[in-house]
Chain A
Amino acid sequence: MVVGIICLGYVSIKLGKIEVWGRPGYEVFAIFSDTGGLRNGAPVVVAGVEVGRVERISLEDYEARVLLQINPGLEIHDDAIVSIKTSGLIGEKFIQISAGAADELIKPGGRIRQTESSVDIMALISKYAFGNL
């Protein structure tokens, strides 16, 4: 019985990717004009490799403030650009960081200034398919 409960707990933590003790690493944030429905826990990738998660999304001055949890050891340059991407046409949203080359690094708790908001693919397709007015 006890073993069963422990196993169940372990499985739900593993499958649900629930963080019991918090993740190691550090946090940075970025401001977007539109997240396009990005969710907490969405992956953060560099060159397609997962390097962290979306920790928290909140509204600040009618813009989205997205807090990112970054794995320890990953340096983010000051001119890095964060974009909200969609996997496939209608897939889940995720965060992509394109590495920069500036000498300064973003400190823990700091802000990545350059952002690209979610591009509305459906709007682009309809623009293309039906033409502009």
Chain B
Amino acid sequence: MTTSNKQAILPLLFLVLGAPALALAGEPTDQIKQTTDQLLAIVQTPSLQGPEKEIERKKKMRSVVDERFDWGAMARSAVGKFWHNFSEAQRTEFTKLFSDLVEKTYMTEVDSYSGEKILYKGDKVDGQYGVVESVVVTLKGTDVPVSYRVLKKRAAWLVYDINIEGVSLVNNYRSQIGSILNSSTYDKLISRIKAKIEAKPSESATEKKQGTATKKTKEETL
């Protein structure tokens, strides 16, 4: 390497090394990143590999996710105005089932992780509310923007909505749950969610490979 080449590379090197320090990651980003890293560590643990370890693996993942997600706020928000018609027992039952449903849909995605890059674009904080922006770079090189809406409760920033490619998870469920409850009963809604949770996850794995946003939305239908 010639001296002039070295001189050209040196500032570039500083730029690359200096970049993480410039992009000031706030507390919400740190906490989201921590949770994501924990999940990916579980998925990649050699002793937890294979379909026969699936139950153990998912159980570990679930406990990590439970610490970061505000299931109560998420479930209430997903039900929307009908929440006030729910009894206390119905609210508890629904929150539990809703968390199972979201967990199933999204943990299946995480479980099939195969080295996609996750970039954190920073966060915005407004009082007790925050938004963490991230981008998942698929193996094909497509960027999928994922933003987490978080709410501060004591020292923890808890997720109350996830926005993938501009589509809100809570709003997606809210419109579907709303139309079910408009034309049907609470029991019917519960039985549909239960059926969805018990359905085989194989479908979503193939859809993931297709990787189109339209298919993803289809997968999240009740």
- Measured CB to CB, the residues of A under 8 A from B are 33-34, 79, 81, 83, 98-102, 111, 113-114, 116-119, 124, 127-128, 132-133
Contact = CB atoms under 8 A, between A and B. Distances in A.
B214 A127 contact: yes
A99 B79 CA distance: 10
Given A113-B149, A114-B170, A132 B77 contact: no
Interface in B140-163: 140-142, 149, 160-161, 163
Contacts of A116: 163, 166-168, 171
Select the residue from B77, B79, B126, B161 with max chain A CB neighbours within 10 A.
B77
Contacts of A124: 212-214
Interface of B: 73, 76-77, 79-84, 126, 129, 140-142, 149, 160-161, 163, 165-168, 170-171, 174-175, 178, 211-214
Nearest to B130: A113
Contacts of B161: 114
Contacts of B141: 133
Contact of B168 (A101, A114, A128, A133): A114
Given A113-B129, A124-B213, A132-B142, A98 B174 contact: yes
A100 B212 CA distance: 29
Select the residue from B73, B82, B166, B167 with max chain A CB neighbours within 10 A.
B166
B140 A81 contact: no
